[in-house]
Amino acid sequence: MKRSLIILSIFLLLVGKANGQTKHSFAIANGNFLLDGKPIQIHSGEMHYARIPKEYWRHRLQMMKAMGLNAVATYVFWNYHETAPGVWDFKSDNRNIAEYIKIAQEEGLYVILRPGPYVCAEWEFGGYPWFLQKVPDMVIRGNNKQYLAATKSYFTALYGQVKNLLVTNGGPIIMVQGENEFGSYVAQRKDIPLEEHKKYSAAVFQQLKDVGFNVPFFTSDGSWLFAEGALPGALPTANGEDNVDKLKEIVNKFNGGKGPYMVAEFYPGWLDHWAEPFPKVSAEVVAKQTKKYLDAGVSFNYYMVHGGTNFGFTSGANYDGNHDIQPDLTSYDYDAPISEAGWATEKYNAIRDLLKTSKTPEVPAKINVIAIPEIKLTKAVSLESVKNKIKPVNNEKPLTFEELNQGHGYVWYSKKFKQPISGKLELNGLRDYAIVYVNGQKVAELNSYYKNYECTIDVPFNATLDIIVENMGRINYGAKIVNSTKGIISPVIINGETITDDWNMYPLPMDKMPKLADAKSNAKAGQPALYQGTFTLSKKGDTFLDMRDWGKGIVFVNGINIGRYWSVGPQQTLYLPGCWLNEGTNEIVIFEQKNDKIQTSIKSTETPILEDLQPEKGDVK
């Protein structure tokens, strides 16, 4: 019996090692991060599972390990998993976060989990499900019953997926973040008493613990915002703090006079908006700052080490004094050390030279890249013919996306006028981009980025006014995140008159690739259209669709929405992962909103174009 138990124990130990399940301990004590009781410096990189095809997760994690990192950090996107109220998805597409974390462990990386509930991340609505705005009396990121009930439900669902992956249960998750950059929000929302802010942040922190998370916690904020964002019982870390002395001083102040010291967001690049220059950070600057942290014993997390892509409608938006919305690019390249397509950059090599040891693996081979010389588009279908098959919602005034129970995509607003009207059209409640037509003729392009909310209009007797509105991504950062409804959210005014009665609204969520098999080619220049084509490949590989000859829209390939394009740039290509292509026949569908000319083909290129700014193509006077 004793011999059998010994054999069983050895077998279980070997199985555990084979599965990468050797149990470790992790703690924050005596001013250090302690792994199995020994001090460790965390060299982490932020990389989000939702922004990478699941087929490439292992490759990207191997790229991180080969750069010399020992941990990966990831946000969890609440709205990526609660797809409808009470409907949870942790399996389809790129949503299997548990699998992502398991692969990280297999590749020798620890995991830092950042569940929010708010994440920012240049992600649609900062990670919040859009339908929270429909819940009566709910105020997001606030101390109210409805919101806290929703966060508890989210944390409970998430814990069910990752509980076995916590370091306390033999997994790789060593730390969990409490809230996210909450000090920034306190600074932005001075209309809310600090006491209420503190009650909220304490409540969600307690929820994380109550549902079962039992690993060390941390918070992250700018070093000047610790008083508002720090939580008792969580290690404060300073985002973007390059001054080591200042970092240690502020952490000591809020952590009992000791470390450990960590920069939870060390920026080797920066975020990008449409119609704005692509920001760059040099490899020399990043390497110099990395060495400073290494020499001072400061742990760090590169945000981002690999950005990936905002596929579909996942990109969010910011705003400033000059723009009511600054929509984020489809590409989340971020000028990161590992490029959008997973390539090692000069920055990557500079960091690897600093971090590599005798145990650092070789850099993985680059995924195959191809160029498709020309894809013939054999069908061009008017969007109007698609819209005419949709039963409209009729109301006395235009309804928002949320009132139409629609999260993303487009809404076609239409009104028939029995009497003529002319003058100034005011669309002050536009969120975010619209093309205006009278009897099918384009009158204007209006949008929130350029604060273009009005135009001169002449609607004759018995004419139809059509306004096709695009949601370009909900606000992901700042006080205005609580005002993120989309569509037409205030009255339409012409010549000083509020236009009411008999508005028809046609939802066009574009949540699936439009089916055009039975549609006829009837597109006209100047009116929105859907293009379809097929192409055959003998060999698969990553590529970049060249959108420089197009206006504005989205692209589906083999049923997958690979993201938005817009002629203003700076992004002029769309990353198309080879794992989503077929050897043999492939299908492409393009929704072109502006459609200034009829297109007949599209090409691809082997290199991305992310720095070609053409703002004059979007600034309609």
Catalytic residue numbers, as ranges: 181, 265
For 324-386, the three-class secondary structure string (H helix, E strand, C coil) is CCEEECCECCCCCCECCCCCECHHHHHHHHHHCCCCCCCCCCCCCECCCCCEEEEEEEEHHHH
Q: Are 451 and 324 within 8 A, CB to CB?
A: yes
Q: Which of 429, 431, 433, 427 is nearest to 465 (CA)?
A: 427
H or E segment at 175?
Answer: strand 173-177
Cα separation, 470 vs 551, whole angstroms = 14
Q: 3-state class of 165 per DSSP?
A: helix
Q: Name the one residue in this structure whose structure tokens are 């009729």.
A: 394
Q: Are 613 and 570 within 8 A, CB to CB?
A: yes
Q: Which of 140, 177, 400 is nearest to 301 (CA)?
A: 177
Q: Are 599 and 377 within 8 A, CB to CB?
A: yes
Cα separation, 70 vs 199, whole angstroms = 35
467 φ, ψ (degrees, to nearest 5): -130, 110
Q: Helices (H) and strands (E) in the chain — how many of each?
A: 12, 36
Q: Name the one residue in this structure whose structure tokens are 């703002």.
A: 615
Q: In this structure, which amino acid lies at residue 270?
A: W
Cα separation, 234 vs 467, whole angstroms = 50
Q: How far apart are the first and last CA of the chain?
A: 87
Q: Are 124 and 475 within 8 A, CB to CB?
A: no
Strands 573-576 and 543-546: antiparallel
- Cα torsion 323, 328, 330, 334 to 10°: value is 130
Count CB neighbours of 137 within 10 A: 8
Count CB neighbours of 3 within 10 A: 7
> Angle between the 194-211 and 145-162 helix axes, to the nearest 10 degrees?
30
Q: Alpha helix (H) ranges present in 42-173?
A: 57-67, 78-81, 97-106, 145-162
